[in-house]
Amino acid sequence: MSTLIVTLPTSLPMATTPCSTVVTDDGHTVKQQTEAPLSLWADVSGGEIVAMVPATQLSWHRLNLPKGSLERGIFQDGSPTRLRSVIDGLIEDRLLEDTELLHFAIEPDAQAGSPTWVAACNRTWLNAWMLAMEQAGKVVGRIVPEIEPATGGASGQTVLHIVGTPDKAQLLWSTTAGVTVLPLSGASVALIASNADSNSLPEVVAEPAVAALAEQYFAGRVVLQTGPQRALAAAGSAWDLAQFELLRSRRARTQKRLSGWGNSVLKAPQWKPARWALVALILINLVGLQAWAWKEQSALSAKRSAIREVLTSTFPDVRIVVDAPLQMQRSMANLQRQNGAASSADMEEMLGRFQAAAPDIPAPIAIEFIAGELRLKLPTAPGAELSGVNARMQSYGYSVQMQGESLVFKLERRP
């Protein structure tokens, strides 16, 4: 599934405003890179659109959010209004602008009571771009920062990005204290050197257009990174600036979470072993079910063969086996008749069994016997004792039921 990464221009949206866009299929390689207005962006139907906010449009603030301000459920975002009010109160003294003019976003997995990063940008500018993209049918899935504060890690190393053109080169300095934007100059380099530990010098990453200039200032310690590559790295961030008023509803946020999780599971390299494990598990289960079905089918066929073998060995006259239990029952009855013995399907045997099972039922006033079915017309209909008679007759292999004024019972077919 393709992803379109759009770097938002610093100006307000217009029909002819060019935007830098990057298309990727795997999140790691650039498939297409263009500079085009909104109407000419690449089509990624079924994919995701990620908007990237330039570093120059964001300011970063470290806040200690009070406990309870981040309470939320699995599919909830707590109370956005209350959280927004808390942030306004904590940050207003640090800003030159009115907080009502700014859009805020808190860092992923923020914990109340501990230092939390809050990103701020111009609300009017960001809302204007979101509205323009929505009207053009380009629905944004995530909003990410171009550069985010460094996490430090074990080494505490920070990153220094050099971007722009030789005449307007800029330094984007990502540290654990935030992101600083400076013009590339001797004074800026001296400032960075004075704040850097000799054991943890910043990693210098430069665009090709300013690589030669960067090498002059940093003695060749420069790694090349193009603008599209920086956009790919930003799109892989856990940050999502689409918070507070940019969330249309709780349902939209839930869908976005599920969609992002699904895309990560389907595309992210770290999930590749899990995807292969899932495929292997499904295949193993299919093979196991097939083997179990084959085993059960074989056992059933063996039992049927054993029944047929018993029938043909006991009654050699039976040459074609269609229904082994029924054929065996009929053959046994015929053999009993030939030897002068009453079978279970004979009237005498049925009457004897009935008399033993129902001694309290009055003698019938009429008896009818046809093809193994005995009908007894009783002077009075049996009451509750009929259920007991039925249970006892079933133990002999007969079924008993009332049909009108007649009590009908016959030999049940048993497997």
Q: Cβ(183)–Cβ(193) under 8 Å?
A: no
| 159-168, 243-252, 347-356: the lowest-pLDDT one | 243-252
Alpha carbon distance 70, 67 (integer Å): 7
Asked whether residue 49 carries a pLDDT value surpassing 80, the answer given is: yes
Asked whether residue 372 carries a pLDDT value surpassing 80, the answer given is: no
Name the domain boundary from 341, 373, 391: 341
| 83-87, 193-197, 397-401, 409-413: the lowest-pLDDT one | 409-413
Q: Which amino acid belongs to residue 297?
A: Q
Q: How confident is the model at residue 322 (pLDDT cuts 50, 70, 90)?
A: confident
Q: Which of 223, 208, 228, 218 is nearest to 163 (CA)?
A: 208
The verdict on residue 30 lying in a domain is yes
One domain, residues 255 and 273? no
One domain, residues 129 and 163? no
Q: Which DSSP letter does residue 412 get?
A: P
Q: What is the pLDDT of residue 292?
A: 93
One domain, residues 22 and 38? yes
Q: What is the pLDDT of residue 260?
A: 61
Q: For residue 9, what is the domain's CATH number?
A: 3.30.420.380
Q: Which DSSP letter does residue 1 get?
A: -
Q: What is the pLDDT of residue 172?
A: 93
Structurally, the chain folds into a number of domains equal to 4
The verdict on residue 333 lying in a domain is yes
Mean pLDDT of 271-283: 89
One domain, residues 330 and 315? yes
The verdict on residue 129 lying in a domain is yes
Q: How confident is the model at residue 311 (pLDDT cuts 50, 70, 90)?
A: confident
Name the domain boundary from 341, 363, 394: 341
Alpha carbon distance 403, 381 (integer Å): 10
The verdict on residue 366 lying in a domain is yes
Asked whether residue 54 carries a pLDDT value surpassing 50, the answer given is: yes
Give residue-wise pLDDT tens across range 120-130. Answer: 999 999 999 99
| 33-37, 49-53, 67-71, 150-154: the lowest-pLDDT one | 150-154
Q: What is the pLDDT of residue 102?
A: 93
Question: Which is higher by pLDDT, 401 or 33?
Answer: 33
Q: What is the pLDDT of residue 74?
A: 38
One domain, residues 114 and 167? no
Q: What is the pLDDT of residue 24?
A: 93
One domain, residues 261 and 121? yes
> What residues form DSSP beta bridges with 398?
411
Contacts for 101-106 with beta carbons within 8 Å, 24 or more apart? Answer: 103/127, 103/241, 103/244, 103/245, 103/246, 104/243, 104/244, 105/143, 105/239, 105/240, 105/241, 105/242, 105/243, 105/244, 106/65, 106/70, 106/243
The verdict on residue 79 lying in a domain is yes
Mean pLDDT of 236-265: 70
> What residues form DSSP beta bridges with 20?
7, 35
Q: Which of 253, 8, 255 is nearest to 130 (CA)?
A: 8
Q: Which DSSP letter does residue 100 get?
A: G
One domain, residues 8 and 133? yes
One domain, residues 6 and 143? yes
pTM: 0.60
One domain, residues 199 and 252? no
Asked whether residue 52 carries a pLDDT value surpassing 70, the answer given is: yes
Asked whether residue 155 carries a pLDDT value surpassing 60, the answer given is: no
Q: What is the pLDDT of residue 75?
A: 38
The verdict on residue 360 lying in a domain is yes
One domain, residues 132 and 179? no
Q: 21: part of which helix (H) or strand (E)?
A: strand 19-24
Asked whether residue 55 carries a pLDDT value surpassing 90, the answer given is: yes
The three-point CA angle 62-66-67 to 5° equals 130
The verdict on residue 232 lying in a domain is no
Question: Which is higher by pLDDT, 366 or 231?
Answer: 231
Name the domain boundary from 341, 373, 395: 341
The verdict on residue 71 lying in a domain is yes
Mean pLDDT of 163-174: 92
One domain, residues 108 and 11? yes
Q: Could you give the count of Cα atoms lying within 13 Å of 127 in the half-sphere of its Cβ?
A: 13
Q: What is the pLDDT of residue 151?
A: 78
List, in order, residues 6 or more apart from 282 with CB less than 8 Å away: none
Most confidently predicted of 122-126, 133-137, 261-265, 337-341 = 122-126
| Two structure tokens written together for 177 | 């204290």
Neighbours of 357 (CB within 10 A): 20
Q: What is the pLDDT of residue 206?
A: 93
- In which domain, by residue range, is 86 found? 1-148+237-267
Q: What is the pLDDT of residue 326?
A: 74
Q: What is the pLDDT of residue 73?
A: 44
Q: How confident is the model at residue 378 (pLDDT cuts 50, 70, 90)?
A: confident
| 93-107, 196-210, 283-297, 375-389: the lowest-pLDDT one | 375-389
One domain, residues 197 and 253? no
Q: How confident is the model at residue 154 (pLDDT cuts 50, 70, 90)?
A: very low
Asked whether residue 76 carries a pLDDT value surpassing 50, the answer given is: no
Q: For residue 198, what is the domain's CATH number?
A: 3.30.420
Q: What is the mean pLDDT of the chain?
A: 82
